[in-house]
Structure 1
């Protein structure tokens, strides 16, 4: 099958999106809005690459740019994450599916079902109760812990070679639980996070190859973003300012995220993950520095402790994965004894 035929669905998506964007921008007289928000387009050129090449949604760059750099409300960063990922990560997901890249389907199916159930509940009932500061801190902790984990476990994580189970009831159940909890809490509050949770389960517990784990995390974040966009649109609860930033960033991420999927296959994932890990730690430190007066000593201790708790959770998953791996190795090394004979 020729390359163009394999990518036909992705090319159709791009054609439909850019047609709609052009009609909206030029037909609706919104070009000046796009120009006014050009810094977000520039920022998301980097963010979209990370979205396609790592287990991080594009909002992982968009959120700190809006909230930390431009001093916008954290709720705007969350809503923008949903909106921009519904284009960039959906584009990357279609690209991944067209290329027929291997995926952890059992985990993915469970997580998608969990996200459908948990994300709307989180957006409708939990998210309105969370103060702006807590949203900002939750985002910083989630991705700060991700960065620290990859600084000291990167070599091990990049050495995994498992492909994931094609049909595993255990992976499906864990995916369902992860999708419900992470969709209802992390994604509903910050706009990202479910991708990192699914990724952590795959690489730490099941020791799945990054070539499988990262595309799987991209697709679950894309799916959850679509759920978030649907809920936000039906309830009319979008934060002011999302549209302008989305108009500027969307045409960039539609190509940038798939580009990340493609380029990382050429240069390898380790350099990209290392850079992303450093950026994640940087935004965590930046958040702590800017909010130090608000948090005070006790708050800062909790802020630091939250990362340690996340790391303990990661290490617990890893320990369970090591136990499972050892048991599997023992079984594979056991002699196969023909029926009717005894092992000597």
Structure 2
């Protein structure tokens, strides 16, 4: 199991030398490279292939190794646009743009953020539709699932083809829990809440997640892992239960499984965000398709407005989703976190501008506070687990040296 830890240097004393003075341009260049060109964490075999690329690569080496990241963005774009343009021309989708143009425009940002961060594009679509456009939460939920089945699966293809490192067990077990969670949520939990209550729940839960991300980024030099360390039954069970909770969130907001799994594997299991973020992209893409299928085929009551929004937003999401995923895999974690903070601040402000009742504000405040406490405790448990793992490994190393 590979771990990413702060580097410790042990050097002999050397004569003092004055530090190199950098010009403003050099400082700006170094800052930009640190935060915007940090680089990707690839699967081990992909990193080895890239490192051992021959001086005169073949066409296959160029397409599938050297320029893999660009080919990864091109594949979903060409595939989806081919089918979309043929269908749009046949059924004249263009006649709906004068009345429904605002959602394709919204999804330029939505799918970009969905591919880049640990939040799905529904984290943008749902608040815009419910808070700004005053569309029923049920329609917003369905549209979020539908458009993420395009944007997030396009980003999923990009992640898989680029061979960016993901935590496969989190995807499998999280999805296994999310499926029954979504079915239970859409039939029995979603009907319990009114429209304003669903808006409050969305804003409160996602704001609590922003606090979780803040807690994570407050530990500047924490030890992290590329995979869940020392995986065992109880860790798999926790992933499954977290998937159930995330599936329930998906049932009323069209998004949630991604932030639940992200919070768990980063705060408790100490997986690096460079692995956790593409993991949630893959997870959300799979579960968006499942949720869309269940609502469209098994339940069959998706509103016509959601279908039209979906039809018009497909060409946008199939492009900006992979672009966001590509850029996000290169950005520093604090830059990605900043996008989440801004989004949640806008969503919270938008909710307050709708002038909700004081009861909703009070309940929402309690959820945010409770979420902050919960994520803080989760982070503490994660620190304890990390200390135990490191202590156990030190003992193993010591015993190995002794013997």
TM-score (norm 2): 0.77
CA contact (8 A) 1:144 1:307 kept: yes
| TM-aligned CA deviation for residue 43 of structure 1 | 1.6
Q: Is the 8 A contact 2:73 2:322 kept in 1?
A: no
Which portions of structure 1, spanning 4 or more consecutive aligned residues, are displaced by more than 6 angstroms?
Answer: 7-10, 338-341
2:277 corresponds, among 214, 218, 229, to 214
Mind listing any 5+ residue stretches in structure 2 that lack a counterpart? 1-59
Corresponding position of 1:337: 399
- Which of 154, 173, 182 pairs up with 1:119? 182
CA contact (8 A) 2:228 2:270 kept: no
Segment of structure 1 superposing worse, 117-126 or 8-17:
8-17
Aligned residue in 1 for 2:373 = 312
1:237 to 286, 296, 301: 301
Bigger Cα displacement from structure 2, 53-62 vs 324-333: 324-333
Which structure: greater helix fraction?
1
Match of 1:279 among 333, 336, 343: 343
Q: Distance in 2 between matches of 1:21 and 1:338?
A: 60
Q: Give me the CA root mean square deviation.
A: 2.4
Equivalent position of 1:324 in the other structure: 385
| Structural mapping, 1:1-344, within 5 Å | 1-2=60-61, 4-5=63-64, 11-151=74-214, 153-156=216-219, 161-165=224-228, 168-183=232-247, 185-234=248-297, 235-292=299-356, 295-296=357-358, 298-334=359-395, 336-337=398-399
- Write the distance in 1 (CA, Å) between the matches of 2:338 and 2:382: 23
Write the deviation string for residues 280-334 of structure 1: whole angstroms up to 9, x where unpaired.
0221132134133xx22x3322111111111111111111101101111222233
Whether the 8 Å contact between 2:174 and 2:243 is mirrored in structure 1 is yes
Q: CA deviation at 1:145?
A: 1.3
Question: CA, structure 1 residues 252+338, in 2 after alignment: closer, same or farther (shift >3 Å)?
Answer: closer
Farther off after superposition, 3-12 or 201-210: 3-12
Structure 1 portions without partners, runs of 5+: none
CA distance in 1, matches of 2:177, 2:375: 21
Moved more, 85-94 or 260-269: 260-269
Verify the 8 A CA contact 2:118 2:259 in the aligned structure 1: yes
Q: Deviations over 1:89-139 (max 9, x none)?
A: 001011111111111112221111112222123223322333212211111
Cα pair 2:249 2:255 within 8 Å, conserved? yes
**Residue deviations 1:213-239 (CA, integer Å, cap 9, x gap):** 001111111111111111111111213
Using a 3 Å threshold, how does the CA distance of structure 1 residues 114 and 338 change in structure 2: closer, same or farther?
A: closer
Quick one: distance in 1 between partners of 2:227 and 2:279?
A: 10
CA distance in 2, matches of 1:276, 1:180: 23
Q: Is the 8 A contact 1:147 1:278 kept in 2?
A: no
> Which structure has the bigger radius of gyration?
2
Tell me how far 1:165 sits from its aligned partner. 3.2
Alpha-carbon spacing, 1:317–1:233, altered in 2? closer, same or farther (3 Å): same
